[in-house]
Amino acid sequence: MSSFTVGLAILGGLLLAALVAWNAWTTRRNTPRQPEMVVAEQQHQHVAERLDPVFDPMAPPPVTLQEKKPGLDPLIDVLAPISLEAPVSGEHALAALPPTRRAGSKPFAIEGLNEATQQWETPQAGQRYGAFQAGVQLANRTGALNEIEYSEFVMKARAFADAIGGEPEFPEMLEEVARARELDQFASAHDAQLSFTLVAKNAAWSPGYVQQNAARLGFVPGAIPGRLVLPASTPGSPAVLGLSFDSQAAMAEDPSQSALRAITLSLDVPQVDRTEQPFVRMRDTAIALAASMEGIISDDNGHLIRVEGLDVIGADLEQLYDTLDSRDLAAGSPLARRLFS
């Protein structure tokens, strides 16, 4: 065999080896990482089998402590008192309530002054009320209350008052609409919804792998497929953080074969009490997941975010918290959660 033939054989072998190696690398890169195996009572189980939520639309929601609904407040609501000639039963008031609790895009509510407790509350059967008040929210994330929404509020409140034999008193519309615009301007300038994207550097991730790593940091399955949440320390409060990925991957017939190359970590700043240290936990979570899952942290535009950049964001948020506090709209408070919704 000539040296030329030997050379070709060697070259061919090298090319074949390179092709096999490349195919192996490509297969490994495209095959999503799976959760680690654990041993329990001498039986091997996938952690994913313990963590993957079962999303059954017919199943009852999990039992949670019922949170007291925040009442109307002149800081963010238009209030219209309704005077009565005689007390009204809760049953009568409930029958007179309008079928919808919105005026346009703004929440609308009726409260009664309970004769026994002297507290304002949503009308309840078995109680008696000496006065009522109707309210509509001045602003939310859809914008400020406008003249059309105010007129709808007046119509609904007047219809309720007529049904219970009450007399409403409405504030001047232009003044309230102007107040709504001012509040909306403040809210728009001080709203903050943050998100980081974690992108896989090498091999993709399976949903179970993401869930396993997130569970180690305290995340639990959310209400919809492809969403995990970090619960607040107070039952009934909004989740501190959210972690989401492709819902179609979560609902696939075999989720273990779904390949995820990115997940999103999110924080709705006004919705979470600052005592939860939400941004510190968001930063630490992003860093921990990037390290354990071999990912990088980026913004919505795909730009790499370094640790120093995270610290700068945290410092800016402290100023935002202070501003919200100064307006009696502390992050995580009932009023802030209503305004920034």
Residue 184 pLDDT more than 60?
Answer: yes
229 and 206 belong to one structural domain: yes
Q: What average pLDDT does this structure show over 191-212? A: 95
pLDDT value at residue 269? 97
Q: What average pLDDT does this structure show over 204-210? A: 94
pLDDT value at residue 25? 53
160 and 219 belong to one structural domain: no
Ramachandran bin of 332, using left for φ above 0, alpha for ψ from -120 to 50, beta for the remaining angles: left
Of 153, 188, 223, the position where a domain reaches its end is: 188
Q: What average pLDDT does this structure show over 80-98? A: 97
Classify residue 302 by its DSSP letter: S
pLDDT value at residue 61? 40
176 and 247 belong to one structural domain: no
Please give the C-alpha separations between residue 23 and each of 10, 14, 272, in angstroms, as whole numbers.
20, 14, 47
**Residue 10 within a domain:** no
Confidence class for position 75, pLDDT limits 50, 70, 90: very high
pLDDT value at residue 87? 97
**Residue 6 within a domain:** no
Confidence class for position 60, pLDDT limits 50, 70, 90: very low
**Residue 19 within a domain:** no
Of 148, 164, 188, the position where a domain reaches its end is: 188
Lowest mean pLDDT among 51-65, 177-191, 246-260: 51-65
**Residue 312 within a domain:** yes
Query: Looking at the 3D structure of the chain, how many domains does it have?
Result: 2
Please give the C-alpha separations between residue 171 and each of 72, 129, 135, in angstroms, as whole numbers.
15, 22, 11
Lowest mean pLDDT among 36-45, 70-79, 195-204: 36-45
- The CATH number that applies at residue 105 is 3.30.1400.10
Q: What average pLDDT does this structure show over 231-247? A: 94
Q: Determine contact, residues 229/282, Cβ cutoff 8 Å.
A: no
Nearest in space to 232 (alpha carbons), one of 341, 337, 95: 337
Percentage of the chain modeled with pLDDT above 70: 81
pLDDT value at residue 309? 84
314 and 210 belong to one structural domain: yes
pLDDT value at residue 256? 81
235 and 246 belong to one structural domain: yes
What range does the domain containing 162 cover? 77-188
Q: What average pLDDT does this structure show over 302-307? A: 87
Mean pLDDT over each residue of the chain, to the nearest integer: 86
Lowest mean pLDDT among 23-32, 135-144, 298-307: 23-32
Confidence class for position 300, pLDDT limits 50, 70, 90: confident
pLDDT value at residue 254? 87
Percentage of the chain modeled with pLDDT above 90: 70
pLDDT value at residue 35? 78
